[in-house]
Structure 1
Amino acid sequence: MNKKLKRWTFLDTLNGILFVVVVLFFLDFQNNSTMSWILLAVFLFWLITVILRNVMISKIEKDPDHPLHKVQTNQHTEIKK
């Protein structure tokens, strides 16, 4: 059985916290610009994946013909014996 896709996960929470810590304490474009750009690129990639995941979930919920529609909207039909 397929699991329901989540819009925000525990891992996203950890990444969000790490992003705030990095922005506040580790970004230093004057002394270490390469590492600062790499960190920003990594977090930008994470943010894009979160946005795309939410877009995908919205499309699944709106399309009743999508294979994961019933899983996302909790419309499981069980066959009773």
Structure 2
Amino acid sequence: MAAFWQLVLENRGKALGIAGGLLFGLLFLTVGFFKTIAFSVFVATGYYIGRKFDNEEDIGEVLDRILPGKFTKR
């Protein structure tokens, strides 16, 4: 079992790609194409906002660029 985890850690990108492909394949088979696409959009949006938090960027500025004037008062 230790050899398996060592292989996964040495090939992290490939392992994540396989896991992601497996997840989206299962979602496609169980809930359908359009719900899988909607799920993907939500995951990508969450990743984008989380990356902004990690980089300590102002979320208000990001949202103001996407939807000007909706989130900040001027």
The TM-score normalised by the length of structure 1 is: 0.34
Q: Which has the higher contact order (CA 8 A, sep 6+)?
A: 1
TM-score, normalising length: structure 2: 0.37
